[in-house]
Structure 1
Amino acid sequence: MSARMSSARRRTLAATVCSAALAGVLAACGSSSHADHTSMPGMSHSDSAMPAGPSPATTSAMPSMPGMGPMPAGDGLSESDGGYRMASRTARVMAGMATSYRFTISGPDGKPVTSFAVDQTKKLHFYAIRSDLTGFQHLHPAMAADGTWMAPLGNLQPGKWRLFASFAPDSGSGKGKDFVLSRTLTVAGNASATPLPKAASKVTVDGYTVTVQGELMAGMAHDLTVSFAKNGKPVTDLQPYLDTYAHLTAFHAGDQAFAHLHPQTTVNGDHGGPDLPFHAELPTSGDWRLFLQFRTAGTLHTAALTLHVS
């Protein structure tokens, strides 16, 4: 009898404990009037609203749309980016004379950078353009041991200029990254703006006819084809220039935003042309002034034309 009573008490106690536990679980689930009984594991139970759209993990897994590529790193309209800074003591020069423009590129530690990666055969590409997109100069300055660069600018016409430095550090936090920084320069004198030529797909320079084919839309990657002809015949003797058969730089009308269009042709001796494909991705709509540099018979030519981006 005592054994049977002990067994019964144990069964009663176990049942009581299970009932209490179940009641606790049910109470916890229904303790708040804001509780979402349909919430799945991993979803927030806080009162704050969930962000709209896919989660970062979902976004990274989503396929990109055709024609969309990564946006350019920047438009070059700042003197600093990612801790790197372009500095110069020269802010104003006189018109009508050559200028040796000195500047430095400092890193996140504030010290001048002296180690740069080679890009298209050069450690730094330097560009000058006036506010009306005239006077284009593309230079490759020399760097002193202390990190000071010296760009031999030619005769600059009066007005507001922007000077760009395109480079990739070969050490530090910016190693492997492309940067384009710029500073403004005032050239003293009476400035007279030149109207931007209308958009056109064809231009003639030094006897060469350069034709650009391709419809561009802002922020989207498109193919652009540049064709060369002379005296009505296709040109097939383009020579390498900066490890390619043509170098194409673009500036946006109004703010001088910078873009570099990358060629996709493999160099094979002095046999470039007549058609060169480019990967083109211009971030902003409007008119862009394109400067195409190419070499034939040892002479460098620069063709300029206006391209409209929708």
Structure 2
Amino acid sequence: MSQRFRTSRRALAAAAATAALTLTLAACGSDSGSDSGMSGMDHSATPSTSASVSASASASAPGDDMASMPGMEPVSAGNGLAAAKDGYKMASSAATVPAGKAIAYRFAITGPDGKPVTGFAVDQTKRMHFYAIRSDLTGFQHLHPTMAQDGTWTVPLAALQPGTWRLYASFTPDSGAGKGKGFVLSRTVKVSGMAMAAPLPKASGTATVDGYTVSVKGDPMAGMAHQLTATVTKDGKPVTDLQPYLDTYAHLTAFHQGDLAFAHLHPETEVDGDHGGPTLGFHAEFAQSGNWRMFLQFQTGGKLHTASLTLHVG
């Protein structure tokens, strides 16, 4: 994860693939998934298995055109508040999904020519990173979809709690107009049922998860590059057995309170075997001031842990 978004894109799919993709996306309303005990507050990145569910579909989801609304323009290429940028678009017909069930959410990335993109560069060992978060900054999921030959991506989302969710696709085309550039696009979906919003925890430099304590230090300012330092301990002792996860010892993602702007913080600590920690450095750039909900993922003993905390950016 020390590398920045790398970029390249392979050849675009033929017109026949476009037609096939259109039919596939139109059928997204009947995804397959299975019942899951995960709640909207679960921060695990491990999805549930699939089973049968039903999701209603429409041409677009609320909030997909935020970039065209006054005051809602993305402040940077990677804040993720638009479904389309520089000719690339995150396309899906699913606007609503049922609550309490795992679903197979399907989408595609179309290029400037309107055809589905099928060539993506590998970034942090994956060609696509996918994130889901509810409007109150709960229910974080970080997943890695699989792509069909026609450019349709399928991601196994764990059960979602009622409310509005924003779904992000982070990718880098490996050829064409977008070569050399990383994109973060997003769409919103409505999850049926009565939404019960959870208050955002107060800003704190410490979080606990699975017996581990994560402490984050740094005083970031909006629009400026800063370094954040995370320290992992357990039972008061430094943790030195962190295992590589996505080519790094920790993956750090943040979302801005209110508009859900996206920030991906790049690690500066080099990976050297299964003995990472206890201290990890990150290059941080936040475009906006205010509170950001941060999700730090790290792995020990083959198990992925996700610590969440609120950071205030001046």
TM-score by length of 2: 0.76
3-state SS in 1 of match to 2:178 = coil
Which of 188, 201, 222 pairs up with 1:218?
A: 222
Percent identity of equivalent pairs: 71
Following superposition, the deviation at residue 167 of structure 1 comes to: 0.3
RMSD over equivalenced CA pairs, Å: 0.7
Following superposition, the deviation at residue 190 of structure 1 comes to: 0.5
Flag as ranges the 4+ runs of structure 1 deviating above 3 A. Answer: none
Residues 18-51 of structure 1 show CA distances to partners (whole Å, capped at 9, x for unaligned) of xxxxxxxxxxxxxxxxxxxxxxxxxxxxxxxxxx
Residues 158-192 of structure 1 show CA distances to partners (whole Å, capped at 9, x for unaligned) of 00000000000001100110000000000000000
1:174 counterpart = 2:178? yes
Name the CA distance, whole Å, in 1 between partners of 2:174 and 2:269. 26
Which of 144, 161, 171 pairs up with 1:140?
A: 144
Which of 102, 106, 120 pairs up with 1:98?
A: 102
Following superposition, the deviation at residue 72 of structure 1 comes to: 4.4
3-state SS in 2 of match to 1:173 = helix
1:231 counterpart = 2:230? no
Name the CA distance, whole Å, in 2 between partners of 1:103 and 1:223. 35
Name the CA distance, whole Å, in 2 between partners of 1:72 and 1:140. 23
Which of 82, 85, 92 pairs up with 2:86?
A: 82
Which residue does 2:160 correspond to in 1?
Answer: 156
Name the CA distance, whole Å, in 2 between partners of 1:268 and 1:82. 38
The unaligned stretches of length 5 or more in structure 1 are 1-70
Which residue does 1:207 correspond to in 2?
Answer: 211
Which residue does 1:124 correspond to in 2?
Answer: 128
> Which structure shows the higher helix fraction?
1
Residues 80-112 of structure 1 show CA distances to partners (whole Å, capped at 9, x for unaligned) of 001000000100011011110000000000000
3-state SS in 1 of match to 2:177 = coil
The unaligned stretches of length 5 or more in structure 2 are 1-74
Which of 111, 119, 130 pairs up with 1:115?
A: 119
Which of 183, 194, 202 pairs up with 1:190?
A: 194
1:275 counterpart = 2:279? yes
1:245 counterpart = 2:254? no
Residues 125-165 of structure 1 show CA distances to partners (whole Å, capped at 9, x for unaligned) of 00000000000000000000000000100000000000000
Following superposition, the deviation at residue 75 of structure 1 comes to: 1.1
1:48-67 mapped onto 2 (5 Å cutoff): none
Preserved contact between residue 78 and residue 182 of structure 2 (Cα < 8 Å):
no
Name the CA distance, whole Å, in 2 between partners of 1:154 and 1:208. 24
Q: Max radius of gyration: which structure?
A: 1
Preserved contact between residue 247 and residue 271 of structure 2 (Cα < 8 Å):
yes
Name the CA distance, whole Å, in 2 between partners of 1:193 and 1:75. 23
Name the CA distance, whole Å, in 2 between partners of 1:263 and 1:195. 29
Name the CA distance, whole Å, in 1 between partners of 2:128 and 2:86. 17
Which AA in structure 2 matches 1:272?
G
TM-score by length of 1: 0.77
3-state SS in 2 of match to 1:210 = strand
Which residue does 1:258 correspond to in 2?
Answer: 262
Which AA in structure 2 matches 1:240?
P
Paired residue total: 240
